[in-house]
Amino acid sequence: MKSKLAVMVALACASSQVVAVEPQSIQTSSGFDITPLLTTGLKHDDNVASTSANEIDSWIMTVVPSVKAVLDDGVSKTELTAAVANGTYFDSSADNFTDTFVGGLFDTQLSEQGKFNAKADFVWGHEDRGTGITEGLSNGQDEPTRFNNQTVSGYYEYGAKAAPARVRFGAKYFNKEYMNQREVTQFRDYDSVLGGVNFYYDTLSGVSAVLESSVEDTGYDFVDPTAPRDSKDTNVKVGAEWQISALTSGEAKIGYQKKNFDDSAREDFSGVAWTVNANWSPLTYSVFNIGTGRKAKDPLQGGDYIKETTYVAGWSHNWSETVQTNLSYNRMEEDYVGVARKDENDSYTASIKYAFRRFVDVSLFTTVTDKTSSVQGIEFDRNITGISFDFSL
């Protein structure tokens, strides 16, 4: 299920689709182009806490102001982004939230062969009651779960643009800390360090052969009483990325993942992992996309790890210069190892957007979620319907 925080970050970025606000930037003497945006809306949620019984429903007002500053001289690019997402529940004030996002990016061409990219994101966010770490526990929680996380990443890429072969050395640091519900969250604060090397070989047909490899060390701040969760995750994938024409683009990679826990009491994972995303545009104003993925990940609740398989399908169509529709389907299958639990989550989304003016978009949307589980109390149905407005200068 897409979180409000993910929506907030998406809104902080200008859309490139035809039917979208066309924001005007404020040009400053320092060279930065500053672009403010505002998204606000009203929606109805018929299961605020994602419960299997005694559902709470409420109307919700959301307000998401954001601003982006960009400095681009053709060789180096600097981006600074900030956004705040506020939600007010009319019939469930305990679920009110205010999330904050601050991020920065620096990208530069060091030489004809060398490129450097660095990025940092800081998030002060929340998980709705009954989702994430409080899944199935919402009846015992009186407020959303709050957290903050920090991500710092970067890479150095060697290889001239005209040369077919490139190599990229990357690294990432991630930290997550929960701020409340400590009786539930205290054993899920963690940080991770990832290092990787990717090789690319470009063909004349718009396809790049890819070899990806990475190792990630994850350490938890407090020892889980069932057994320590510290682990090392190794991934190797081979495949292709393509941008053959305006009609089709995407990636397809398959490989091997091995997850080793420091403590022998937990079961290790080794197996196939994959990532597939494909976009097909038979017409300039219509795009279909499909995707699937498979990986092992740490659980927010019990168990050693989760074997997660995802499927995505969507269709976006511009009926005119002012009207666009979007349909999407998401499915997530989670097979827990270490506890007897299997979950399936299906989500359907439909929306229609109308470009009322160059600086105003109006959207109507609905999302239907159906989750089933082999564990009682985890399953739920949730329907969200609403209207939103995007404003720019």
Predicted local confidence at residue 11, as pLDDT: 42
Q: How many domains does the chain have?
A: 1
CATH of the domain at 235: 2.40.160
Query: pLDDT at position 303, please?
Result: 93
For residues 381 and 369, is the Cβ–Cβ distance under 8 A? yes
Residue 2 has a pLDDT of: 41
> Does residue 201 surpass a pLDDT of 90?
yes
Predicted local distance difference test score (pLDDT) of residue 77? 96
Find, among 196, 193, 194, the residue nearest to 168 by Cα.
196
Mean pLDDT of 324-353: 97
What is the predicted pLDDT for the residue at 9? 47
pLDDT at 284 > cutoff 50: yes
pLDDT of residue 44: 98
pLDDT for residue 10 = 44
- Predicted local confidence at residue 3, as pLDDT: 43
Mean pLDDT of 222-227: 91
pLDDT value for 138: 65
The arithmetic mean of pLDDT across residues 334-343, rounded, is: 96
4's enclosing H/E stretch is helix 4-11
Interatomic CA distance for residues 350 and 367, integer angstroms: 7
Q: pTM of the prediction? A: 0.90
Give the Cα separation of 185 and 149 in Å (integer). Answer: 14
| Alpha-carbon 44 to chain mean position | 23
* Arithmetic mean of pLDDT, 77-100: 96
Q: What is the pLDDT of residues 3-29, one digit of tens each?
A: 444 444 444 443 334 456 677 888 888
* Domain span including residue 240: 4-392
pLDDT, tens digit, 9 for 90 and up, residues 234-249: 999 999 999 988 789 9
Kindly report the average pLDDT of the chain as a whole number.
92
List pLDDT tens digits, range 359-387: 899 999 999 999 999 999 899 999 999 99
pLDDT of 136 > 50? The answer is yes
Least confident of 132-136, 257-261, 274-278, 379-383: 132-136
Q: What is the pLDDT of residue 21?
A: 67
Give the residue from 300, 216, 215, 231 showing the smallest Cα distance to 263. 231
State the pLDDT at residue 12: 41
- The predicted pLDDT at position 244 comes to 85
Strands (E), the chain: 26-27, 33-45, 58-72, 76-89, 97-109, 114-127, 145-158, 165-178, 190-202, 207-220, 231-243, 248-261, 269-283, 286-297, 305-318, 323-337, 342-357, 360-373, 380-392
Q: For residue 275, what pLDDT band results from cuts at 50, 70 and 90?
A: very high
